[in-house]
Chains A and B, each alone.
Chain A
């Protein structure tokens, strides 16, 4: 099996595991009217560590995976994750991208950007935008907290999965070392 395909499949499996965990967390958080979203985690490692085509394929497939379980038009989250991927990929050479802390910070920024993008697209559809805004703020706060908690584990899982399938990301010589 080609190296790139192994990378895509391994990262898609990781995305499926993460999505399943977040779905379960949301199931238990429903009585408190809170929901978690960690979309930034799906994009970060592919954007910072993988080649363009492989990474973009990972981001788009993860987006389609999320789209399939949501009532949004199929492909919308994939497009948003794809855009986020492109922005992060464009600036990645300026970041010390082997550091887990950097990966977590990038995931937090991507999460924030996706929240804002979705709010701009759909806030008018809510019957009470003020209550909706409050809920979005609360969701954003708990989502960022969950991203910080799950991020290091998830990036370790992705790295270990890539090693397991014999397709680790290329070594980067850090200019910050």
Chain B
């Protein structure tokens, strides 16, 4: 009898587990979404609280500081105007060449800026929760960028929030190219040592490519696969060594340390409704 009493917690847990296994998936999915949507307002409220805190902190700044910031912004706006004109000229040139060479055009995206509600970085996953979701027609699989280049892609879309998996996450693999080279290499995030910026593993690098800590090589997205637009900054490869098979090299890439402090991102929502973005939701 005493032995049964000792085993009772495990027997009860076993019964619960058995019941859980026969519960239909749709009910589990509904339960997960319900639990998530209950939590979401807490995160969103905390992010609004942080913004309010920032607003009142900014109110303490003097007029001289504000005038100086406005002058800096004026200069920045003038340079952006020039860039926009250059951008329009280059776009027209790309369209002309595409029609001339009958090349398929790159998919068009709608940029959707979003504030980061929560950073959830640990050794197993690196995710961001942002304050826009199905209410802004965000789609699962959409690429996400920021001022430092590629952030990752949307893996979950909820009512008012979305979850982004970062390129520093161990589960993210993508095809990248070295700047000025068109041969694709494999990129996998997931080296997140404590107190250090994130790093990634690079594989299948051609033998004639070299990179050292003193002469790192810039890595950008290749556009292969159609998820990420080409040319987005991914990281800097600082180490390359021949792999065990001797056919390729493998090495390490340093990711931008700003990924860890990211507070605003831009989600590139595909405009074409038929555009297929592979789902990464577990």
A-B complex is real: yes
What residues on B are CB-neighbors of A32 within 8 Å? 194-195, 260
Contact B39 A68 (CB under 8 A): yes
B127 in contact (CB, < 8 A)? yes
Contact pattern, B 174-194, Cβ under 8 Å of A = 1, otherwise 0: 000000000000001111111
Kindly specify which of A18-26, A99-107, A154-162, A167-175 makes contact with the partner chain: A18-26
- Interface residue range, chain B: 35 or more
A1 in contact (CB, < 8 A)? no
With A75-B20, A136-B123 given, is the CB distance from A65 to B39 under 8 Å?
yes
The number of residue pairs between A and B whose CB atoms lie closer than 8 Å in the complex comes to 145
Partner of A52, one of B12, B193, B261: B12
B35 in contact (CB, < 8 A)? yes
Contact B17 A79 (CB under 8 A): yes
Main secondary structure of the interface of A (DSSP, over half): helix
**CA A71 – CA B164 in complex, angstroms?**
11
B55 in contact (CB, < 8 A)? no
**CA A23 – CA B257 in complex, angstroms?**
21
Contact A19 B282 (CB under 8 A): no
Contact B39 A33 (CB under 8 A): no
What residues on B are CB-neighbors of A90 within 8 Å? 6, 9-10
Contact B32 A126 (CB under 8 A): no
A2 in contact (CB, < 8 A)? no
Partner of A56, one of B12, B34, B200: B12
Contact pattern, B 1-33, Cβ under 8 Å of A = 1, otherwise 0: 000001011101100110010000000110111
Partner of A20, one of B8, B29, B42: B42
Contact B10 A126 (CB under 8 A): no
**CA A69 – CA B117 in complex, angstroms?**
13
Nearest residue (CB) in A for B200 is: A127
| A51-110 at interface with B (beta carbon < 8 Å) | 52-53, 56, 60, 64-65, 67-75, 79, 82-83, 85-86, 89-90
Contact B122 A20 (CB under 8 A): no
A138 in contact (CB, < 8 A)? yes
Contact A86 B9 (CB under 8 A): yes
B46 in contact (CB, < 8 A)? yes
Contact pattern, A 127-153, Cβ under 8 Å of B = 1, otherwise 0: 110011011101100000000000000
Contact B122 A139 (CB under 8 A): yes
**CA A35 – CA B31 in complex, angstroms?**
26
**CA A134 – CA B8 in complex, angstroms?**
38
Contact B120 A26 (CB under 8 A): yes
What residues on A are CB-neighbors of B38 within 8 Å? 16
Give the number of chain A interface residues (Cβ < 8 Å).
Answer: 49
What residues on A are CB-neighbors of B42 within 8 Å? 16, 20, 23
Contact A16 B39 (CB under 8 A): yes
Contact A126 B123 (CB under 8 A): yes
**CA A122 – CA B282 in complex, angstroms?**
15
B111 in contact (CB, < 8 A)? no
CB of B114, distance to nearest CB on chain A (Å): 16
A3 in contact (CB, < 8 A)? no
A27 in contact (CB, < 8 A)? yes
Partner of A128, one of B121, B197, B201, B282: B201
A4 in contact (CB, < 8 A)? no
B109 in contact (CB, < 8 A)? no
A34 in contact (CB, < 8 A)? yes
Contact A82 B191 (CB under 8 A): no
Contact B36 A135 (CB under 8 A): no
Interface centre among B42, B123, B193, B195 (most CB of A within 10 A): B123
What residues on A are CB-neighbors of B171 within 8 Å? 71, 125
With A75-B28, A89-B9 given, is the CB distance from A30 to B123 under 8 Å?
no
Q: A67-B35, A86-B10 are in contact. List 6 more A-B contacts (CB 8 A).
A: A33-B197, A35-B123, A52-B9, A72-B124, A126-B190, A127-B170
The 25 sampled A-B contact pairs (Cβ below 8 Å) are A16-B42, A20-B43, A24-B46, A27-B120, A30-B261, A32-B260, A33-B121, A33-B193, A33-B194, A52-B12, A53-B12, A56-B16, A65-B35, A67-B32, A71-B282, A72-B282, A89-B9, A127-B188, A127-B189, A131-B192, A134-B194, A135-B193, A138-B194, A138-B195, A139-B123
| Interface set of B (CB-CB < 8 Å, partner A) | 6, 8-10, 12-13, 16-17, 20, 28-29, 31-36, 38-39, 42-43, 46, 118-125, 127, 155, 165, 170-171, 188-201, 257, 260-261, 282
